[in-house]
């Protein structure tokens, strides 16, 4: 069974996350834990105070309303659904829940707010994307018009690192069909300010980097096709771009291609010291106008 956490605060952005989740060809059966965070002041405070009791009751009633609405929206998608109110630090509570329940995915909106306390803010999605032990999908409504039935346009950032291979492995766990349009994207950094005497060597170096990048992309395409029988080489393009700003180049390509989902593999991190996302991944997470999947194998051994 595929186990998914849907983090919601009842906002429009959280509803967008539900709509995007339902577009994904998640293997059935699917269990969804719908979680929200209910804020109690003063670490639960003195609940004998009638004002605090009223505050708590209002928060819980509001949360129950949008949890129920989310459950109803998932009725034709999930096999089983569970609702859960979390407490404490928002990002930490979501990550801790994922660890305790061995979840496969966390799906959340990029921004949002609840009636009294804000929840799925950029800082929270950033924290969850960085620290979660599993795949994280930060959903955004794309700038271009699309419907639930439109073929999904997907860009996968790919190079020779283990994180990219892990991203392919996680991506192929879903039931993609031949209607999906997939682009493997490699980026070759361009370094400026070299002496004219070094230019011949730099030109040769860049040529070698382009060739190597395309070789990695073709290997990635072969990996996709070999691990997913329904995908064909014809629906997977390989593109290399050269740029002096990797993050901007990726964002521009996503907008040009009207991408619905960008997939980037996570670097391996220890359980003791969880490092930040790479600078490029973080830039894309913060600036992309499409949904982003940070691919991470929950069963990978962290050393």
Kindly write down the DSSP assignment for every residue of 171-220, as one continuous string: HTTS---TT-EEEEEEEEE------GGGHHHHHHHHHHHHHHHHHHHHHH
Q: 100 Cβ partners below 8 Å, 6+ apart? A: none
- CA 282, 288, 291, 295 dihedral sign is negative
pLDDT for 171 equals 95
CA dihedral 203, 205, 209, 215 (to 10 degrees): 100
pLDDT for 200 equals 64
SS3 content of the chain, % helix, strand, coil (to 5): 40, 20, 40
How many residues are recorded in the chain?
A: 303
24 three-state secondary structure: coil
* Segment 19-43, tens digit of pLDDT: 999 999 999 999 999 999 987 665 5
- Of the ranges 36-40, 116-120, 155-159, which is most confident? 155-159
Share of the chain above pLDDT 90, in %: 54
Indicate the average pLDDT of the chain. 85
pLDDT at 53 over 80: no
Q: Are 11 and 120 in contact (CB under 8 A)?
A: yes
CA 144, CA 291: separation in Å to the nearest integer?
A: 12
User: pTM of this prediction?
Assistant: 0.87
Can you point out the beta strands (E) in 67-145?
A: 80-86, 105-109, 135-139
pLDDT at 178 over 60: yes
pLDDT at 249 over 60: yes
């Amino acid at each position: 069974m595929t186990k998914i956490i849907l983090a919601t605060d009842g906002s429009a952005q959280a509803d967008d996350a539900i709509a995007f989740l339902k577009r994904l060809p998640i293997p059935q059966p699917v269990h969804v834990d719908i979680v929200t965070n209910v804020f109690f002041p003063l670490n639960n405070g003195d609940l004998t105070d009638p004002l605090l009791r009223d505050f708590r009751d209002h928060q819980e009633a509001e949360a129950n309303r949008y949890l129920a609405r989310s459950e109803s929206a998932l009725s034709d998608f999930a096999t089983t659904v569970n609702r859960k109110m979390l407490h404490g630090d928002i990002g930490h509570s979501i990550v801790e829940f994922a660890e305790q329940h061995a979840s496969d995915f966390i799906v959340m909106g990029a921004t949002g707010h609840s009636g009294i306390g804000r929840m799925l803010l950029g800082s929270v999605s950033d924290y969850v994307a960085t620290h979660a032990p599993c795949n994280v999908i930060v959903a955004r409504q794309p700038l271009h018009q699309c419907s639930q039935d439109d073929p999904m346009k997907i860009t996968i950032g790919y190079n020779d690192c283990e994180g990219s291979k892990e991203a392919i492995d996680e991506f192929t766990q879903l039931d993609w069909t031949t209607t999906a349009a997939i682009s493997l994207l490699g980026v070759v950094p361009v370094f400026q300010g070299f002496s004219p005497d070094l230019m011949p060597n730099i030109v040769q170096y860049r040529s070698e980097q382009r060739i190597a990048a395309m070789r990695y992309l073709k290997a990635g395409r072969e990996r996709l096709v070999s691990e997913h029988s329904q995908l064909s080489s014809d629906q997977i393009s390989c593109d290399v771009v050269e740029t002096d700003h990797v993050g901007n180049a990726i964002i521009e390509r996503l907008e040009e291609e009207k991408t619905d989902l960008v997939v980037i593999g996570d670097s391996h991190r220890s359980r003791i010291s969880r490092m930040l996302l790479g600078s490029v991944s973080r830039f894309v997470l913060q600036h992309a106008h499409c949904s982003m999947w940070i691919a991470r194998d929950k069963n990978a051994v962290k050393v």
